[in-house]
């Protein structure tokens, strides 16, 4: 880190909300992004060769090669976002770099999006909007665009962390029955509050749910967690929602399940190869697609920035950053 009294050089890879960028300029020797496009690999290598702190986002792949290019002055990778699957934590820690993230501030907004996608898919809202916008709607009809009633359905949550629990609270208000699969069973008090049923076997839960919501983080253990064999055991006509990471689901297998009609619909805010979306998904009427916007509220993005600044400030003041990421956490 720079000597005491010298402001650290912080390279920010993407445009952030204006209040956050302004505050970073006040506190640090901040290099802000001039255009809101991901940095190239060469640009990232240049950044890590000169920065004291790198502040990337999910669109920046900070792999071992990028980390190897880092100069000796780089000590902190302060991620703008909760997920850190785009950062090679093992390589970072081997080089003595501290990694931080911005957890906790996205919970409510992401849960809102998951609930919105559930309603949109089950009630066929996307299909209805496209019909009206195309001026093909001919008026109310007794059997027009009939969806399904949400109340009374079973919701299976894959990953009962902060976001999963927040979704469960919303879903209960809509009359859904709450079920979940997790690496570890949650506390009895949480199960009682949510009236949630725990399934140790993911396959057993999948085969009985009307709706599946993916809310687990992306880790080596969750890559393609919902693969072809698991998707094949889902209840006939069930729908699947993903606001987590795209590659938790095998997207090719999902397309096959949707095409065959075995999976009744999907609501996807994330994609396995984003920003590229599997072309067949674009043509499916029973699929609602949104562009990775679960955390895209003014309040959440500013709160993320405030956590980002708090982590950098704590580190440069020789304190342990409040949101330090340990390799064992993922």
| pLDDT confidence of residue 223 | 95
Buried b (16+ CB within 10 A) or exposed e, 59-75: bbbbeeebbebbeeebb
For the chain, the C-alpha Rg in angstroms (whole number) is 22
pLDDT, tens digit, 9 for 90 and up, residues 5-34: 689 999 999 999 999 999 999 999 999 999
Active site residues: 245, 274, 292
| Closest by CA position to 274, among listed 304, 244, 231 | 244
The answer on pLDDT for 151 being more than 70 is: yes
Residues 260-269 have pLDDT tens digits of: 999 999 999 9
pLDDT confidence of residue 218: 87
* pLDDT class of 178 with cuts at 50, 70, 90: very high
Asked whether the predicted pLDDT for residue 135 surpasses 60, the reply is: yes
pLDDT above 80 for 3: no
Residue 241 CB partners (closer than 8 Å, separation 6+): 114, 117, 118, 121, 211, 212, 213, 214, 266, 267, 268
**Tokens, residue 155:** 């919701």
Which helix (H) or strand (E) segment is 158 a member of? strand 154-158
Average pLDDT over residues 178-205: 97
Look at residue 327 in the predicted model and tell me its pLDDT.
67
pLDDT at 288 over 80: yes
Q: Mean per-residue pLDDT for 100-114? A: 96
Predicted confidence at residue 39, as pLDDT, reads: 94
pLDDT number for residue 220: 87
Q: Are 325 and 307 in contact (CB under 8 A)?
A: no
Q: What is the pLDDT of residue 330?
A: 47
pLDDT digits (tens, 9 = 90+) for 199-225: 999 999 999 999 999 999 888 899 999
Q: Strand, helix or coil at 324?
A: strand
Q: Do domains 9-103+297-329 and 107-289 have the same CATH topology?
A: yes
Instruction: Kindly tell me if the per-residue pLDDT of 74 is higher than 90.
Output: yes
Q: Does residue 319 have a pLDDT over 70?
A: yes
Q: Which fold has domain 9-103+297-329?
A: Rossmann fold (3.40.50)
Interval 110-132: pLDDT, tens:
999 999 999 999 999 999 999 99
Which run of H or of E encompasses 9? strand 9-12
| Sheet of strand 29-31: strand arrangement | 29-31, 9-12, 53-55, 76-78, 98-100
Mean pLDDT of 129-149: 96
The structural domains of the chain, with segments of one domain joined by +, span 9-103+297-329, 107-289
Given phi > 0 = left and psi -120 to 50 = alpha, else beta, which region is 139? Answer: left
What CATH number was assigned to the domain covering residues 107-289? 3.40.50.720
């Amino acid at each position: 880190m720079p000597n005491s009294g010298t402001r650290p050089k912080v390279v920010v890879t993407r445009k952030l909300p204006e209040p956050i960028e302004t505050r970073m300029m006040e506190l640090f020797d901040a290099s802000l992004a001039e255009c809101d496009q991901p940095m190239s690999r060469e640009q990232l290598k240049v950044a890590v060769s000169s920065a004291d702190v790198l502040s990337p986002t999910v669109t920046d792949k900070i792999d071992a090669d990028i980390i190897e290019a880092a100069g000796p002055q780089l000590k902190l990778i302060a991620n703008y976002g909760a997920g850190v699957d785009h950062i090679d934590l093992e390589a970072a820690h081997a080089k003595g770099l501290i990694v931080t993230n911005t957890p906790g501030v996205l919970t409510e907004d992401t849960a809102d999006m998951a609930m919105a996608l559930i309603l949109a898919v089950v009630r066929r809202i996307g299909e209805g909007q496209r019909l009206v916008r195309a001026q093909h709607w001919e008026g109310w009809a007794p059997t027009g665009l009939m969806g399904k009633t949400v109340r009374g359905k079973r919701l299976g949550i894959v990953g009962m962390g902060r976001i999963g629990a927040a979704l469960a609270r919303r879903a209960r208000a809509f009359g859904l029955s709450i079920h979940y699969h997790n690496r570890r069973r949650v506390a009895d008090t949480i199960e009682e509050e949510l009236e949630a049923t725990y399934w140790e076997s993911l396959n057993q839960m999948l085969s009985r749910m009307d709706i599946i919501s993916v809310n687990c983080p992306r880790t080596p253990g969750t890559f393609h967690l919902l693969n072809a064999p698991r998707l094949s055991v889902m209840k006939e006509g069930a729908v699947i929602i993903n606001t987590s990471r795209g590659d938790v689901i095998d997207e090719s297998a999902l397309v096959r399940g949707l095409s065959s009609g075995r999976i009744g619909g999907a609501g996807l805010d994330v994609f396995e190869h984003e920003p590229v979306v599997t072309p067949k998904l674009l043509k499916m009427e029973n699929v609602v697609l949104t562009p990775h916007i679960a955390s895209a509220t003014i309040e959440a993005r500013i709160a993320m920035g405030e956590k980002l600044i708090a982590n950098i400030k704590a580190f440069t003041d020789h304190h342990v950053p409040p949101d330090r990421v340990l390799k064992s956490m993922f």
